[in-house]
Chain A
C-alpha cells in the first residue's frame, strides 16, 4: 500500500490534463464537455482510492505525501512541488471533485450553444486543478500557487462573456472579472507578507517536516513561538503569531468574501451560473476557511486575532443576510447568501470550532451548489430572465425544479432534518458552549432568522403566485441538467448524518489533523444544545413563514418590474442601504477608485502627455525648430546683407589684430 501513495499526484493531474486537451486539441463542444467531466470523475475516483489507502492500517504514516520535484532551492530557502493527503485534504478533495464533477456534467447541457464552450470547459478544468493543488499542497508556496490559480480562473470564468456590455442585473462581465481579481490581490499581498514572516521566523514554508528536502515543518512550531514578538522598529512590537494570523485573516477576507473585501462576489454573478455554483458556492471561496483550518496551530496561539476573526465573521454574516433579503436578482440573493454563510464558517474557526466550520463548509457546498444549479435551470427555463419580478407561479410549471430548489432553500434556512440544520446548529452550539461566547451565538441565531426570511421571500417570489411576465413559457431542464440536481438534493437530505451530535463521524475523521477537544456530552450540554436547536428552529420557522407569506400572499399584487419592494415603504432607507450592500462598493468607488482614476488620468494626460512628451520629448525638438526659424532670418537671400556680414567680420578681426598691441 505505501508504494501506491504516488497516486495522490493523479488527483490534480487529471483535471490539468483535461485543461491542456481542451485548450490545445479539442474544438468540438461535445467532446470538450465530455473530456472535462471524465477528468474530474477520474479525480474523484482517485480521491476515494486515496482515502482508502490513507485509512488502511498498512500505511504507517499519518498522511500520504509525495514530492514530485524540488522546486526552489536558494540557500536555506527550499520549497518542493509536493502533495500531502491527510483527512482534511481528503474532505476538501471529495467536495471539489464530487460537486465539481456534477457541475461539469450540468454544464454540458447548460452551455449548449454558447459562443465559446471549449474555452469554458478548459478553464473549468484548470480551476479544479488549481483548487486541488491548493488543498493538496504540502507547503505554503505551492498553496499560494493554487490560491492564485483559482483567482485567475475565477477572473477567466467570470469574464467568460467578456464581449457583452451588460448582463442582468446590469453588470459588465469584464469589469466584474477585473474587480474579482484586483480585490483578491489585496488579500494575496497579505498572504505573501504572512509567508515571508513564517519563513523568516519559523524556518520553513512546509506544513510538515520533509526529510527529502531537509526542511522542518512550521505548523508544529507554533506553540513554542507563541510568545515571540516581531519588532517593528518605531512602531513597537507585536506578537509574531498574531501578526501572521492577522495577515492570513486579511487574505481570507479577500478570498472568502468577508467584510470589507466581499464586494467582488455579488458582481461575480455575471459569469455563467455553473461557474457561480462551483467557484462561489462550493470551492474557491472556501479556500480561506481551509487556510485557517490548515493553520489551526497558528490560530490557536494567536490571542488577539481570534477576536477580529469572530467580529468580522459575525458582521459579515449579518450584513450579508440583510442584503440578500433586498435583492431582486435571483443569483444576487444567492451571492449574498454565500457571503453570509461564509461568515458562519469564519466565526466557527475563529472560535476554535474547526470541525464545525468544516462541517458547514461541506453542507453549504452541497446545498448552495444545488441552489445555484437550480437557479440556472430556472434562468434557462424562463428564457434568461433573472429578475424575480418576472417570475412567479413556477411551482406548477417547473415542479421538479421547485422541489429540489425547496430542499436546498430549506437546508439554507436550517430546517430540520436537512443538512444545513445540523451544521448551523453545530456552530451555534460551539459558540455557546464550546467557546463560551453566548453573544456570538445569539447574533448567529438572529442571522439565521434573516436567512430564513430571505429564503421564504425568494421561494414565494419565484414559485408562488402567478407568472408575472408572460413573454415566456416556463419549461423544465433536460436530464443532463436535472440529474445532478437530484443527486445534490439527495445529498443535502442525508448530509446531516456526516456529523450528527453524538456520532460525530466528521469530527472523528478529522481529529488527527485538527486535534480538537472532543465534545463532552454531559446532561447540561445535551439539554442546552437541544434548547438552542429548538429556539433556533422557532426563529427560523417563524421568519421563514413570514417571509414566504408576505411575498406569496400580502404583497403579491404589488410586485412589478421596475417598482420597489413593498417593504421599502416601512423600512425606507434601511432597505435601500441593505440593497446596496451597506455601501462598501460605493465607498470603494468614491474613496479608492475615483481618486485613483483621477490620478491616473492626470498622470496620463498632464504629466505624461504635456509634461514628459510635451516638455522633454517635443520640447527640445520645438526649441531647435524655433531656433532654426529665427536663425533663418539671416538667410535672407540678399547679397548685400551677406556682404554686410563680411564687413562686420573683417572689421572685428582687423580690429583685434590692429589694437592688440
Chain B
C-alpha cells in the first residue's frame, strides 16, 4: 500500500502548480484550466483520505465536486465568451474595470 502521505503530497504539488498557473499566465483560458487543475488536486486528496479511512463518503463528495466543477466550467466559459465578445482579447489584464 502506498502511504496516504504521498498522495496528499502529490495533491499539494499539483495544487501549487495550479496556483502558479493562475498567477503567471495571462490567457484567460489557461487560467481557467489551472483552476480546474487545482480542483482536481483537491479531489485527489479527498480520494486518498477516503481510502485511508475506508469511508465511501469521501468519494461521494468527489463525485459532487466533479459535477459542480462541470457546471462551473460551463457557466464560466459562457461568461468568458460573453466578455470577450466585447473586449476582443483573451488577456485578463485587460479586464481591469475593478481598478481604483
Please count the residue pairs between chain A and chain B whose beta carbons lie under 8 angstroms apart in the complex.
28
Interface check A211, CB cutoff 8 A: no
Q: Which of A633-648 contact B (CB under 8 A)?
A: 635-640, 643-644, 647
Bound-state Cα–Cα, A647 to B93, Å: 18
B96 interface neighbour in A637, A643, A644, A647, Cβ under 8 Å:
A637
Interface check A632, CB cutoff 8 A: yes
Could you tell me the distance in whole angstroms from the C-beta of A438 to the nearest C-beta in chain B? 94
Interface check B86, CB cutoff 8 A: no
Could you tell me the distance in whole angstroms from the C-beta of A647 to the nearest C-beta in chain B? 6
Interface check B99, CB cutoff 8 A: yes
Interface check B66, CB cutoff 8 A: no
Q: Judging by beta carbons under 8 Å apart, are B97 and A637 in contact?
A: yes
Q: Which of A268-305 contact B (CB under 8 A)?
A: none
Residues of B within 8 A of A644 (CB): 23
Could you tell me the distance in whole angstroms from the C-beta of A643 to the nearest C-beta in chain B? 5
B19 interface neighbour in A635, A637, A638, A647, Cβ under 8 Å:
A647
Q: Judging by beta carbons under 8 Å apart, are A637 and B23 in contact?
A: no
Chain B 65-96 interface 0/1 with A at a Cβ cutoff of 8 Å (1 = within): 00000000000000000000000000011011
Bound-state Cα–Cα, A397 to B38, Å: 118
Q: Judging by beta carbons under 8 Å apart, are A636 and B99 in contact?
A: yes
Q: Judging by beta carbons under 8 Å apart, are B93 and A638 in contact?
A: yes
Bound-state Cα–Cα, A635 to B23, Å: 16
Bound-state Cα–Cα, A635 to B93, Å: 13
Q: Which of A503-537 contact B (CB under 8 A)?
A: none
Q: Which of A562-620 contact B (CB under 8 A)?
A: none
Residues of A within 8 A of B26 (CB): 640
Bound-state Cα–Cα, A643 to B18, Å: 12
Residues of A within 8 A of B22 (CB): 640, 643
Q: Which of B6-50 contact A (CB under 8 A)?
A: 19, 22-23, 26
A643 interface neighbour in B23, B93, B95, B98, Cβ under 8 Å:
B23
Residues of B within 8 A of A643 (CB): 22-23
Residues of A within 8 A of B99 (CB): 635-637
Contact residues on A (Cβ < 8 Å of other chain), bracket? 10 to 19
Known: A640-B22, A640-B23, A643-B23. A635 touches B100 (CB 8 A): yes
Known: A638-B93, A639-B95, A640-B92. A647 touches B100 (CB 8 A): no
Residues of A within 8 A of B19 (CB): 647
Bound-state Cα–Cα, A640 to B99, Å: 13
Q: Judging by beta carbons under 8 Å apart, are A639 and B92 in contact?
A: yes
Q: Judging by beta carbons under 8 Å apart, are B92 and A637 in contact?
A: no
Could you tell me the distance in whole angstroms from the C-beta of A306 to the nearest C-beta in chain B? 83
Which chain A residue lies CB-closest to B98?
Answer: A637
Which chain A residue lies CB-closest to B28?
Answer: A639
Residues of A within 8 A of B98 (CB): 635, 637, 639
Which chain A residue lies CB-closest to B26?
Answer: A640
Could you tell me the distance in whole angstroms from the C-beta of B18 to the nearest C-beta in chain A? 11
Residues of B within 8 A of A639 (CB): 92, 95, 98
Q: Judging by beta carbons under 8 Å apart, are A638 and B96 in contact?
A: yes
Bound-state Cα–Cα, A632 to B23, Å: 21
A632 interface neighbour in B96, B97, B100, Cβ under 8 Å:
B100
Which chain A residue lies CB-closest to B100?
Answer: A635
Bound-state Cα–Cα, A636 to B97, Å: 9
Most buried by B among A632, A638, A643, A644: A638
Residues of B within 8 A of A640 (CB): 22-23, 26, 92-93
Bound-state Cα–Cα, A632 to B22, Å: 23
Residues of A within 8 A of B100 (CB): 632, 635, 637
Residues of B within 8 A of A635 (CB): 98-100
Residues of B within 8 A of A647 (CB): 19, 23
Could you tell me the distance in whole angstroms from the C-beta of A141 to the nearest C-beta in chain B? 69
Which chain A residue lies CB-closest to B97?
Answer: A637
Most buried by B among A639, A643, A647: A639
Which chain A residue lies CB-closest to B24?
Answer: A640
Bound-state Cα–Cα, A640 to B28, Å: 11
Q: Which of A229-251 contact B (CB under 8 A)?
A: none
Which chain A residue lies CB-closest to B25?
Answer: A640
Residues of A within 8 A of B96 (CB): 636-638
Chain A 625-661 interface 0/1 with B at a Cβ cutoff of 8 Å (1 = within): 0000000100111111001100100000000000000
Could you tell me the distance in whole angstroms from the C-beta of A606 to the nearest C-beta in chain B? 37
Could you tell me the distance in whole angstroms from the C-beta of A450 to the nearest C-beta in chain B? 84
A sample of 17 more A-B contacts (CB under 8 A), given A635-B98, A647-B23, is A635-B100, A636-B99, A637-B95, A637-B96, A637-B97, A637-B98, A638-B92, A638-B93, A639-B92, A639-B95, A639-B98, A640-B22, A640-B23, A640-B26, A640-B93, A644-B23, A647-B19
A selection of 7 A-B contacts at a CB cut-off of 8 Å is: A635-B100, A637-B98, A637-B100, A638-B92, A638-B93, A638-B96, A639-B98
A interface residues, Cβ below 8 angstroms from B: 632, 635-640, 643-644, 647
Q: Which 8 A-B pairs have the closest CB atoms?
A: A637-B99, A637-B96, A637-B98, A643-B22, A635-B100, A640-B23, A644-B23, A638-B93
